[in-house]
């Protein structure tokens, strides 16, 4: 099973986001939706209902999208949309300091020269 990082490195135009109405047990369940699926990336959760799939070309992807959208599982439709990389895996930078504290107002003094002056006296 591929990691998301490996899939992100390839062209996002060749990928689709697929969400099923049932839990995905294994990769083969997704590959049965269309014969031209090259890669399947599943999240690590056991309760997963979505995945990202990759196709060899944009033309095949467009045809596959139409075909997969027509299919139904247990009478319920499959959600298919273009893969958007978005904010997945990105964390917000931590704020340093307290809320009202301005970082630019903070300054530090080098105390070594002052200590040497005090020691001479």
C-alpha angle 86-92-93 in degrees, rounded to nearest 5:
140
Q: Is residue 116 part of a domain?
A: no
pTM of the complete model:
0.61
Q: Is residue 8 part of a domain?
A: yes
Q: Is residue 35 part of a domain?
A: yes
Total count of domains within the chain: 1
Q: Is residue 72 part of a domain?
A: yes
Residue bearing tokens 């890669």: 39
Q: What is the pLDDT of residues 40-49, one digit of tens each?
A: 988 888 889 9
Q: What is the mean pLDDT of residues 95-108?
A: 59
Q: Output the average pLDDT for the chain.
A: 80
Query: What's the CATH code of the domain at 51?
Result: 3.30.70.330
Q: Is residue 119 part of a domain?
A: no
pLDDT (0 to 100) of residue 112: 74
Q: What is the mean pLDDT of residues 16-26?
A: 92
Phi/psi-derived region of residue 89, left when phi > 0, alpha when psi is between -120 and 50, beta in every other case: left
- In angstroms, the CA 88 to CA 74 distance is 30
């Amino acid at each position: 099973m591929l990691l998301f990082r490996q899939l992100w490195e390839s062209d996002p135009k060749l990928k689709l986001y697929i969400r099923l109405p049932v839990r995905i047990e294994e990769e083969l369940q997704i590959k049965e939706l269309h014969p031209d699926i090259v890669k399947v990336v599943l999240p690590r959760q056991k309760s997963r209902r979505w995945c990202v799939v990759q196709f060899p070309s944009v033309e095949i992807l467009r045809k596959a999208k139409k075909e997969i959208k027509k299919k139904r599982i247990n009478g319920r439709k499959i959600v298919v949309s273009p893969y958007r990389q978005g904010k997945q895996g990105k964390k917000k930078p931590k704020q340093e300091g307290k809320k009202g504290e301005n970082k630019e107002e903070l300054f530090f003094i080098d105390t070594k020269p002052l200590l040497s002056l005090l020691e001479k006296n």
